[in-house]
């Protein structure tokens, strides 16, 4: 599953091509992905201006001019790829977005574990997809003090604690492994023992690893590509994963 750097990379790639444009046409080729598409999904998107594209946790959000947000999760194998309009549709191209500026973006997902839905943007904090989520590790709120507080009293190992999206969002196996290695912390150490100096080292390592991965376009194992179709390159910098 794409982790924070991969989703951030996709958001930035889409933003440069889509922000400020309107959806001229949306083609939906099936009734559902992980969840059903909302009723009149394509019709409700047609003509809407894309004001901003940004990431929340592992979700891609498109802020629309009617006050709604298009919520996209890539699941295990989803891709958002900018394509030529003349390109032949692939078997797993489930949704095709075309803008008034002539850009076409295809959502391709062989395993169909991704999702797309619409929700009022002002209500996202209380939305069932987001209300349980923890702090973003690239935000100022993610500090050594916050991490130590969240881990206090936990007897589970630190690696699964980092994977708990209720504590920190977007960190999966790849970046938990790399961050712990860089911080010099065993993945088997009890989470509750991560205080003071260790918390400082770990927070710094997580932020640095994620920033470096984003700069490299993410990590491409099997499915991740940037919206241009280019692979990510951070897998060449892995130390332990």
The DSSP result for 90-131, as a single string, is: PTTEEEEEEETTS-EEEEE-SS---EEEEEEGGGGGGSTTTT
pLDDT value for 86:
61
Considering the candidates 3, 104, 121, 178, report the single residue annotated as catalytic: 3
Cα torsion 171, 123, 53, 59: sign: positive
pLDDT value for 87:
67
* 227 labelled catalytic: no
**CA 142, CA 135: separation in Å to the nearest integer?**
6
pLDDT value for 177:
98
Q: Between the CA of residue 185 and those of 12, 21, 83, 93, 167, what are the distances in Å?
A: 32, 46, 43, 42, 18
Considering the candidates 2, 5, 144, 227, report the single residue annotated as catalytic: 2
Residue 101 phi/psi, 5-degree rounding, is -95, 5
For every one of its 241 residues, what pLDDT tens digit does the chain have, with 9 covering 90 and above?
789 999 999 999 999 999 999 999 999 999 999 999 999 999 999 999 999 999 999 999 999 999 999 999 999 999 999 986 666 777 899 999 999 999 999 999 999 999 999 999 999 999 999 999 999 999 999 999 999 999 999 999 999 999 999 999 999 999 999 999 999 999 999 999 999 999 999 999 999 999 999 999 999 877 788 888 888 889 999 999 9
pLDDT value for 57:
96
* 2 labelled catalytic: yes
Closest listed residue to residue 141, CA positions, set 207, 205, 211, 88: 207
**CA 134, CA 137: separation in Å to the nearest integer?**
9
């Amino acid at each position: 599953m794409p982790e924070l750097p991969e989703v951030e990379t996709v958001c930035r790639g889409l933003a440069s091509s889509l922000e400020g444009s309107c959806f001229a046409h949306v083609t939906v080729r099936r009734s559902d992905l992980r969840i059903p598409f909302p009723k009149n999904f394509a019709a409700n998107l047609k003509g809407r201006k894309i004001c901003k594209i940004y990431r929340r946790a592992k979700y891609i959000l498109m802020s629309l001019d009617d006050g709604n947000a298009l919520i996209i999760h890539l699941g295990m194998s989803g891709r958002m790829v900018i394509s030529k309009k003349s390109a032949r549709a692939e078997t797993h191209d489930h949704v095709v977005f075309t803008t008034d500026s002539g850009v076409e973006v295809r959502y391709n997902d062989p395993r169909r574990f991704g999702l797309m839905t619409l929700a009022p943007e002002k209500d996202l904090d209380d939305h069932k997809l987001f209300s349980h989520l923890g702090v973003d590790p690239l935000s100022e709120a993610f500090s050594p003090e916050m991490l130590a507080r969240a881990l206090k009293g936990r007897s589970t190992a630190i690696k699964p604690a980092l994977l708990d999206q209720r504590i920190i969002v977007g960190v999966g196996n790849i970046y938990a492994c790399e961050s712990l290695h860089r911080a010099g912390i065993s993945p088997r150490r009890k989470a509750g023992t991560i205080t003071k100096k260790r918390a400082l080292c770990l927070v710094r390592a997580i932020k640095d690893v994620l920033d470096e991965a984003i700069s490299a376009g993410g990590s491409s194992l099997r499915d991740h590509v940037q919206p241009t179709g280019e692979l990510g390159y951070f897998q060449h910098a892995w130390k332990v994963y």
